[in-house]
């Protein structure tokens, strides 16, 4: 994401420019929705979270500190909202729970879809703190530094969560026979 373009867009949004708000929404809707979907494995929840995120972003735009990149801020809100959603549904500690899935049945899926769904299901079995870094790394394409800023964690911690998360994911996949 281009932070220069973002800055101008945010300024216009803060001045109440509706076109700027639309442009911001069009730019970030998909990344926010994807982050939420990967955290929640539910398109309905991801949709609700995306909506809440944008309402909060516009409402709290005055409190956004432009010294940070906008996408860090919006991702942080998206992940927090996703975790709130998991908490509300008592799905935060997903280990040993039956993952919520809205996927098609295996007979309706292609091979790639099955692998993708198996991966998503495995992702839901690992704790949210590990899932969060995996989502930011693999689905938002963030660097260690960016993840560190988004989650407000030292980079060292980000790395260790990522390694542990991958290890847990690998174990979950092995357990399900997919890896």
Partner 1 sequence: MTIEAKYVELMNADLDGEISDAERIDLAEYLEANPEAAAMQAELSDLCGSLDEMGQIDPPPHLKYAILDSLQKTAKPASERVASGGLKLRQLFAMPALRHAFTFGAGAFLTFALISSDQISDQAFDDVTGLVGTISDSVPAATGQNTIRLTSNEIAGMVSTHFAGSLNVVDFNLAAEGPVEIVAEFSNNELWFKGFAQLESDDTRILADDGQVKMHIQGRNRYALYLQHTNDVDSTVNFKFYSAGNLIHEADLIIGNETKEAE
CA dist., res. 150 & res. 153, Å (int) = 8
Tokens of 36: 């939420």
What mask of x and - would describe binding to partner 1 in positions 121 to 150, judged by CB under 8 A? -------------x--xxx---xx------
Contact flag: residue 101 with partner 1 (CB under 8 A): no
Q: Do 104 and 121 form a contact (C-beta atoms < 8 A)?
A: no
114: left (phi over 0), alpha (psi -120 to 50) or beta: alpha
Distance, CA of 122 to CA of 169 (rounded, Å):
6
Determine, following the binding rule CB under 8 A, whether residue 169 of this chain makes contact with partner 1: yes
Of these, 5, 88, 101, 163, which contacts partner 1 (CB under 8 A)?
A: 163
* Binding residues for partner 1 (CB under 8 A): 14-16, 18-19, 21-22, 25-26, 29-30, 33-34, 37, 43-44, 46-47, 50-51, 54-55, 58-59, 112, 115-116, 119-120, 134, 137-139, 143-144, 159, 162-163, 166, 169-170, 173, 179
């Amino acid at each position: 994401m281009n932070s220069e373009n973002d800055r101008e867009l945010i300024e216009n949004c803060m001045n109440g420019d509706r076109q700027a708000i639309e442009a911001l929404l069009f730019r970030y809707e998909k990344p926010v929705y994807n982050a939420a979907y990967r955290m929640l494995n539910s398109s309905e929840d991801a949709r609700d979270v995306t909506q809440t995120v944008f309402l909060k972003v516009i409402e709290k735009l005055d409190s956004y500190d432009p010294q940070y990149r906008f996408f860090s801020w919006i991702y942080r809100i998206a992940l927090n909202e996703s975790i709130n959603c998991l908490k509300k549904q008592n799905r935060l500690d997903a280990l040993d729970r039956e993952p919520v899935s809205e996927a098609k049945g295996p007979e309706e899926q292609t091979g790639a879809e099955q692998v993708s769904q198996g991966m998503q299901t495995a992702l839901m079995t690992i704790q949210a703190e590990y899932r969060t870094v995996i989502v930011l790394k693999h689905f938002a394409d963030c660097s260690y530094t960016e993840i560190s800023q988004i989650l407000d964690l030292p980079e060292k911690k980000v790395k260790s969560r990522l390694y542990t998360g991958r290890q847990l994911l690998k174990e979950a996949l092995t357990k399900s026979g997919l890896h």
